[in-house]
Structure 1
């Protein structure tokens, strides 16, 4: 059983590299099999289809994100800093997520919606408790935080192209993102409204 699980993990790691480079349409199961050191048919036995392999690969890595990046509505700037560090250190996953959005053939794992729902609920409670400004809806606030924290990943069309020199000093960039998130999270409390 250990050997089967090890083979399955090698397939998922090879799939991450292949799908992040080529997307679903451009990925080749034979290349994944060769990289994983297994028979191509074994991939279909484990995962049924290329699309299912893509979804399983995405889900595996998103679950890792959810476990490693604890959401803290009382410290949104700290959360943004952790997201920034993670995404800058995991460009393959960011490309995989981009391909998922572009091709929209692979279903997003249900856990993704569930996790985001829990985050927006936590933000709504933090707003009700006066810990986070209520100028923006929880969904908008979460989207703004994630957008800022991931703006300089290689797959983002704006950060790297419009302000490429910012990535030369990641500590300064991360600090600027954290400050922006603090300002957004405070909302109208800054203007006294």
Structure 2
């Protein structure tokens, strides 16, 4: 890895921390540069704008999510448990996603919509095959499962703020989550 690549990786790491804490509007390029140990202008040379840097950071980490969290329509409770564990482990990424949703001026990586669409298709196929309850539309089902799985992360305004003690027993939470998803999706 060349010096430029190393510098870009330091910038991306610093940007993840900055954007997770402050969002696009509140983030400061000078703080990112200082944390990354580089010149502020170098960030603009590599990434053009603060918004492009945000999208680059989001895309990089969402790509990791897509590869680490493969949908298993035949076992949605286990998938929800993996998403739950990932969300608790990667709080900074969940805050980044929350900021992305709040700040509509930030562009969404194109891959995010493509991956979402393929998951909806997989769920529809599982419903058609009788593996999942077909009462809920597959796009609604995916949103419901993801919402349940991330309810105790920074991406959800209700879980951690209303019950800050809940994540101290993540095993019990995971059990309740998988049971809820099982009940939601079991074939009729």
TM-score range, shorter chain: over 0.9
- The equivalent of 2:89 in structure 1 is 89
Whether contact under 8 Å (2:30, 2:40) holds in the other structure is yes
- The equivalent of 1:32 in structure 2 is 32
1:48 matches 2:48: yes
Structure 1 residues 135-192: Cα deviation after superposition (integer angstroms, max 9, x where no partner) = 10100100000000000013421112333332121001001000000110126x1xxx
- The equivalent of 1:177 in structure 2 is 177
Task: Give every structure 1 segment of 4 or more consecutive aligned residues whose post-TM-superposition deviation is greater than 4 Å.
Answer: none
- The equivalent of 1:154 in structure 2 is 154
- The equivalent of 1:128 in structure 2 is 128
- The equivalent of 1:7 in structure 2 is 7
Gaps of 5+ in 1: none
Equivalenced residues, count:
188
Q: Distance in 1 between matches of 2:73 and 2:133?
A: 11
Structure 1 residues 80-112: Cα deviation after superposition (integer angstroms, max 9, x where no partner) = 000000010111111111111111111111100
Could you state the TM-score of these two structures normalised by the residue count of structure 2? 0.97
- The equivalent of 2:75 in structure 1 is 75
Q: Distance in 1 between matches of 2:24 and 2:140?
A: 29
C-alpha RMSD of matched pairs (Å): 1.1
Q: Distance in 2 between matches of 1:184 and 1:165?
A: 26
Instruction: Between 159-168 and 132-141, report the one with greater CA deviation.
Output: 159-168
Q: Distance in 2 between matches of 1:158 and 1:144?
A: 15
Could you state the TM-score of these two structures normalised by the residue count of structure 1? 0.94
1:112 matches 2:133: no
What secondary structure, in the 3-state scheme, does the structure 1 residue paired with 2:165 have?
A: helix
